[in-house]
Amino acid sequence: MKNVTTPLDDPVDAPGEPYEEPAQAGIVRGILRRKSTIVAGGFLALLVLGAVLAPLIAPYDPNVQNVLQRLRPPSADHLLGTDDYGRDVLSRLIYSARVSLQASAQAVAVALVIGLPPGVAAGYRGGWLDTVLTRIMDTLMSAPSLVLAITIVAVLGPGITNAMLAIGVIMAPRFFRVARATTMDVRHETYIEASIALGCGNLRTAVRHILPNVMPPIVLVISVSLGAAVAAEASLSFLGLGVRAPASSWGSMLSTASSNMGLAPYLVWPPGVMIFLTVLAFTYLGDGVRKGMTRSRSARGKGE
Amino acid sequence: MAGPTVQAEARAGPTPKPPEASPNPPGNPLRNSSKGHSMLRHAGKRLLAAIPLLLVVPLLVFLLIDLAPGDPAVVLAGEDPTPDRIAAIRGELGLSDPVVERYLRWVGAVLHGDLGQSLMSDQSVTDMIVRRMGTTMSLVLFAMVMAVVLGTLMAILASLRPGGVVDRLVNWLASVAIAIPAFWFGLVLASLFAVTFQVFPAFGFVPLSEGLWPWMSHLVLPGIALGLLPAAEVTLQLRSALGQELKSDYILNAQAKGLSRSAVLFKHALKNACVPVVTVLGFRVAEVLAGSVTIEIIYNMPGLGSLAVDSVLSRDIPVLLGFVLFSTSVVVVVNLLVDISYGYFNPKVRA
């Protein structure tokens, strides 16, 4: 099935305005030009730091229950209140960042492994291999995503690893498409033909000469996918198909909030805001990376 | 096929658009002549290409069950299985037969309209799905309509003064809205407008047959929650498409003719700018359908989403397969419509 390319494979594509400042060489410098990118990157760096240092930062043990302190609204003792087992919401929020970030990295790693090598292979070899792989990936892409995830979780059993495996499989076609398209772009460049003529094997040509071209757009897909994976993990954990108790993620915290909405409406905010900010930060980071890359590419083009 | 028939089909097809409203360069030889006929062929080709997906996705489920480590019947029985349940699952799924045979038997039954029986309740899966379909479809429809109306309004507002305050505000709002998880937005709406202020009923669903307002009032909050993301995407897409259209020659021509601003916008630009938006909407249907799962759980609506989650948690594979087949069919049909609309808008695709 031939898929019409959707601009929304790349959600960061939509906003933005053309650049008029003089172009600067260097992707990193291009990326760091934008304040929003720096803020987004800084937020994510803090988040990772907070997740790593969770035991030092968290005011309470996230799993200690205190029945006398059930569903207390925010106070000096418990800055974000307590949940239905009397556990400190702030501490759970910090520990959940670990689960959410780790899970999202896992999912993207799975997607990268499933999507990138076949993409390069399909773009490099073409022919029947390309046809078969593209057909498989298109099928994956047109299957309804959450349904596929639910199915995989149903068969493998609920749990964060299985859920992330499922999300990784679903996101793989994005990596495949970008890798394949970029490979096809450079496949017939002189330096590729030259390296083949010099006797480089296929693997060496692919890894040494094609991969460096494929990586910049892939970095962009990684950034966007990390955000998407955080949101997907939250949905699955919210449904009880992801993280298992007593561990928690932002999604499972929202599930608690959902069942205690009448008594403790304040529970809805902290995990949701964290998911929202994290997804937004990854989007802006991806946006910045993309613009930095386009800029440095156009700068190179002008210099020649 | 004889010549006259082809021509008759061509005439029966949709009327060609006036030249100035076409997104293609003028003088395209494919246009007008045999539009209806090639439209049909295009649709037919797409339909044929879509069928494998309907077969492949359930096959994946069968293979996954087969490949899962351990005895599938024991695995599927969940925690603390009773021997009865294991035997029931083995019997129901025919697990002693090879996987291909099981799959083919299932396909054969589906072709006769039989999706099997639930392992948990002994109800027919077809009945269960038909009974819950209305809820989910109402919700998805409501969300999509809201997305189109809100998105179009915002995009038009923004394009009235390109680069103005409104334009930038709309652009910013839409890109931020994309990062809001639908189910969290649903929770926030429920906690604000159903629990704290009690403007709308918080939970449940009332079918349309019991009156328009009761039906609507139960759909407002979940519909808004579910429609936010597609609304933001429609806004961004339509805004950027309108921006492109407004720069093109035919718009300049229309302005030079002395047409008013609104006539240019509504009669000419909007028409062509709709093309990418239709595509976006098509792709979003799958996502909205997926999003309806969490929204239905939050608002306690008896739809397909809660059925799917229950079937996963209780490992009720026949129900799950039915759900998978249903969702895949919806997505296939919508993709097909999008593809056909593409062929309609852009004759080059049909070649």
> A110 pLDDT band (50/70/90 cuts)?
very high
Q: CB contact, 8 Å: A214 with chain B?
A: no
Beta-carbon separation of B53 and A1 below 8 A: yes
Q: What is the mean pLDDT of chain A?
A: 83
Residue of A nearest to B349 (CA): A4
Residues of B in contact with A143 (CB under 8 A): 53, 57, 328, 331
Pick from A209, A231, A228, A215: nearest CA to A289: A215
> A295 pLDDT band (50/70/90 cuts)?
low
Name the residue type at position A103.
Answer: A
Q: CB contact, 8 Å: A155 with chain B?
A: yes
| pLDDT tops 50 at residue B73 | yes
> B55, B187, B326: best mutation site toward chain A, by most A Cβ within 10 Å?
B187
pLDDT at site A27: 66
Instruction: Name the residue among A144, A257, A268 with its Cβ closest to that of B328.
Output: A144
Q: pLDDT digits over A41-93, tens only? A: 999 999 999 999 989 988 888 888 888 877 888 888 888 888 888 888 999 99
Q: CB contact, 8 Å: A90 with chain B?
A: no
Beta-carbon separation of A241 and B323 below 8 A: no
Residues of A in contact with B297 (CB under 8 A): 238-239, 258
pLDDT at site B344: 67
Residue A294 Cα, gap to closest chain B Cα (Å): 19
Question: Please, are residues A89 and A265 in contact by the beta-carbon 8 Å criterion?
Answer: no
Phi, psi (deg, nearest 5) at residue A110: -60, -45
Q: CB contact, 8 Å: A26 with chain B?
A: no
- Residues 6+ away with beta carbon under 8 Å from A99: A160, A243, A247, A248, A249
Q: CB contact, 8 Å: A142 with chain B?
A: yes
Q: Bigger pLDDT: A1 or B62? A: B62
Strongest mean pLDDT among A228-242, B57-71, B191-205, B245-259: A228-242
- Please count the helices (runs of H) and the strands (runs of E) in chain B: 14, 0
Pick from B349, B344, B322, B230: nearest CA to B281: B230
Residues of A in contact with B61 (CB under 8 A): 151, 155
Residues of B in contact with A153 (CB under 8 A): 312
Instruction: Name the residue among A6, A254, A271 with its Cβ closest to that of B279.
Output: A6
Instruction: Name the residue among B171, B320, B331 with its Cβ closest to that of A151.
Output: B320
Range from A185-199, A257-271, B53-67, B300-314 carrying the lowest mean pLDDT: B53-67
* Residue where the block lists tokens 């658009």: B17
Alpha carbons A258 and A272: distance in angstroms, whole number: 11
> B229, B312, B323, B340: best mutation site toward chain A, by most A Cβ within 10 Å?
B312
Alpha carbons A226 and A223: distance in angstroms, whole number: 5
Alpha carbons B231 and B147: distance in angstroms, whole number: 4
| pLDDT tops 70 at residue B17 | no
Q: CB contact, 8 Å: A151 with chain B?
A: yes
| pLDDT tops 70 at residue A301 | no
pLDDT at site A300: 53
| pLDDT tops 50 at residue A303 | no
Beta-carbon separation of B68 and A155 below 8 A: yes
pLDDT at site A42: 93
| pLDDT tops 70 at residue B202 | no
Residue A256 Cα, gap to closest chain B Cα (Å): 11
Residue B227 Cα, gap to closest chain A Cα (Å): 16
Range from A51-65, A240-254, A257-271, B207-221 carrying the lowest mean pLDDT: B207-221
Instruction: Name the residue among B195, B313, B320 with its Cβ closest to that of A240.
Output: B313
Beta-carbon separation of A8 and B280 below 8 A: yes
| pLDDT tops 90 at residue A168 | yes
| pLDDT tops 50 at residue A134 | yes
Q: What is the mean pLDDT of residues A207-226?
A: 89
Residues of B in contact with A10 (CB under 8 A): none
| pLDDT tops 90 at residue A260 | no
Residues of B in contact with A141 (CB under 8 A): none
Strongest mean pLDDT among A16-25, B169-178, B329-338: B169-178
- Residues 6+ away with beta carbon under 8 Å from A214: A116, A119, A120, A178, A179, A182, A183
pLDDT at site B346: 60
pLDDT at site B225: 93
> B71 pLDDT band (50/70/90 cuts)?
low
Q: What is the mean pLDDT of residues A217-232?
A: 91
Q: What is the mean pLDDT of residues A6-20?
A: 41
Instruction: Name the residue among B49, B179, B181 with its Cβ closest to that of A283.
Output: B179
Percent of chain A predicted with pLDDT > 90: 36
pLDDT at site B4: 38
pLDDT at site A129: 92
Range from A106-115, B8-17, B203-212 carrying the lowest mean pLDDT: B8-17
Task: Specify which residues A88 forms β-bridges with.
Answer: A82
* Residue where the block lists tokens 């097909």: B336
- Give the start-to-end residue ranges of the domains of chain B: 33-111, 135-313
Q: What is the mean pLDDT of chain B?
A: 79
Q: CB contact, 8 Å: A146 with chain B?
A: yes
> B314 pLDDT band (50/70/90 cuts)?
confident
Q: Bigger pLDDT: B266 or A125? A: A125
pLDDT at site B75: 66
pLDDT at site B256: 84
pTM for the model: 0.81
Q: What is the mean pLDDT of residues B51-55?
A: 81
Range from A29-38, A192-201, A295-304 carrying the lowest mean pLDDT: A295-304
Burial of A142 (0-12, 13-18, 19+ CB in 10 A): buried
Residue of B nearest to A166 (CA): B64
Residue A88, SS3 per DSSP: strand
Q: Bigger pLDDT: A201 or B231? A: B231
Tokens standing for B218?
């139960």
Q: Bigger pLDDT: B19 or B275? A: B275
Dihedral of CA atoms B6, B7, B9, B11 in degrees, nearest 10, equals 170
Residues of A in contact with B168 (CB under 8 A): none
Q: What is the mean pLDDT of residues B326-330?
A: 87
Tokens standing for B225?
């929650």
> B343 pLDDT band (50/70/90 cuts)?
low
Instruction: Name the residue among B56, B61, B196 with its Cβ closest to that of A139.
Output: B56
Residues of A in contact with B64 (CB under 8 A): 151-152, 155-156
Q: What is the mean pLDDT of residues A251-271?
A: 89
Residue B317 Cα, gap to closest chain A Cα (Å): 8
Residues of B in contact with A166 (CB under 8 A): none
Residue A3 Cα, gap to closest chain B Cα (Å): 8
Residue B257 Cα, gap to closest chain A Cα (Å): 30
| pLDDT tops 60 at residue A6 | no
Residue of A nearest to B313 (CA): A154
Q: CB contact, 8 Å: A245 with chain B?
A: no
Phi, psi (deg, nearest 5) at residue B117: -120, 145
> B187 pLDDT band (50/70/90 cuts)?
very high
> A208 pLDDT band (50/70/90 cuts)?
confident
Residue B329 Cα, gap to closest chain A Cα (Å): 9
- Domains of chain A are 29-70+77-297 (1.10.3720.10)
Q: CB contact, 8 Å: A178 with chain B?
A: no
Q: What is the mean pLDDT of residues A15-40?
A: 63
CATH superfamily of B135-313: MetI-like (1.10.3720.10)
